[in-house]
């Protein structure tokens, strides 16, 4: 009788242990399932947040609110590659726009060389700004060419005026010297040349010569001289 009671207690104890192990296993399974479910939910939430930020940024770009679009992306955690790329594009775009407004067209164009995202809104913004840069560069080149042309014209005008001035200066000095050298009427020989009239390039001179002791000035004659051709005519 005692053996039977002892056997029953052993069976009961074994059953209790088995039940406890079963319950523990079930608890671990439920915990693992709950953890997996929580992780999946977190991933889906992150993807949804990044996707929402990407869509919102595109809408802001269409409205030309580029800084707002960048801020919206920058404030999003665990961004997708797509969101990262459009954020980079926005940085480059805003840098290019600043350079364009400062007249630095080369830097502006360089910032727009590569678009990393596939966003149509971003592509349109890049294209529109590049068109403005190209137009500004052409206008700048044209202005520079016009300025150079004006400078060349001004230089030519000044040169012509200088030549004219030089020709005029010859009336009082150089033409008399030219005539004297041509005719051999040097001051060392006692000759005096007096300009009596001028018409264009034609000059009329009265030529006199002093005697050896410079007490008497004798008339040599009147001459007509063309400073352009060098022709000399004795009038009397």
CA distance 201 to 229: 9
**Which two structure tokens, joined as six digits, stand for 78?**
């665990």
Q: Are strands 202-210 and 232-234 parallel, antiparallel or unpaired?
A: unpaired
CA distance 78 to 94: 23
Buried b (16+ CB within 10 A) or exposed e, 101-123: eeeebeebbebbeebebebebbe
**CA distances from residue 135 to 15, 102, 128, 141 in whole angstroms, order as listed:** 89, 15, 11, 10
**Which two structure tokens, joined as six digits, stand for 79?**
């961004």
**Which two structure tokens, joined as six digits, stand for 64?**
């030309």
pLDDT score recorded for residue 189:
82
pLDDT score recorded for residue 17:
47
CA distance 85 to 114: 11
Return per-residue pLDDT of the chain as tens, 236 residues: 544 554 455 545 555 545 554 544 545 555 544 444 444 444 445 556 888 989 999 999 999 999 999 999 999 888 899 999 999 999 999 999 999 888 899 999 999 988 999 999 999 999 999 999 999 988 766 555 655 666 666 666 666 655 555 555 565 568 888 998 999 887 778 888 999 999 998 999 999 998 888 788 889 999 999 999 999 999 98
Q: How many CA atoms lie within 13 A of 121 on its CB side?
A: 17
CA distance 201 to 175: 9
DSSP state of 233: E
* Helix (H) / strand (E) containing 153: helix 120-169
């Amino acid at each position: 009788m005692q053996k039977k009671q002892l056997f029953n207690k052993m069976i009961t104890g074994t059953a209790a242990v088995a039940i406890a192990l079963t319950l523990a296993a079930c608890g671990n399974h439920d915990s693992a399932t709950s953890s997996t479910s929580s992780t999946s939910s977190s991933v889906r939430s992150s993807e949804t947040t990044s996707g929402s930020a990407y869509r919102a940024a595109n809408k802001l770009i269409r409205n030309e609110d580029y800084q707002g679009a960048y801020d919206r992306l920058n404030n999003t955690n665990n961004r997708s590659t797509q969101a990262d790329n459009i954020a980079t594009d926005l940085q480059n775009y805003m840098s290019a726009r600043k350079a364009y407004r400062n007249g630095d067209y080369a830097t502006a164009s360089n910032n727009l060389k590569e678009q990393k995202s596939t966003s149509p809104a971003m592509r349109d913004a890049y294209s529109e700004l590049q068109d403005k840069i190209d137009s500004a560069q052409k206008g700048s080149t044209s202005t520079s060419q016009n300025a150079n042309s004006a400078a060349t014209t001004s230089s030519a005008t000044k040169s012509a005026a200088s030549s004219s001035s030089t020709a005029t200066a010859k009336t009082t000095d150089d033409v008399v010297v030219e005539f004297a050298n041509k005719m051999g009427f040097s001051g060392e020989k006692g000759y005096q040349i007096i300009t009596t009239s001028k018409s264009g390039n034609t000059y009329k001179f009265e030529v006199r010569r002093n005697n050896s002791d410079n007490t008497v000035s004798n008339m040599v004659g009147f001459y007509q001289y063309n400073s352009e051709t060098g022709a000399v005519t004795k009038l009397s």
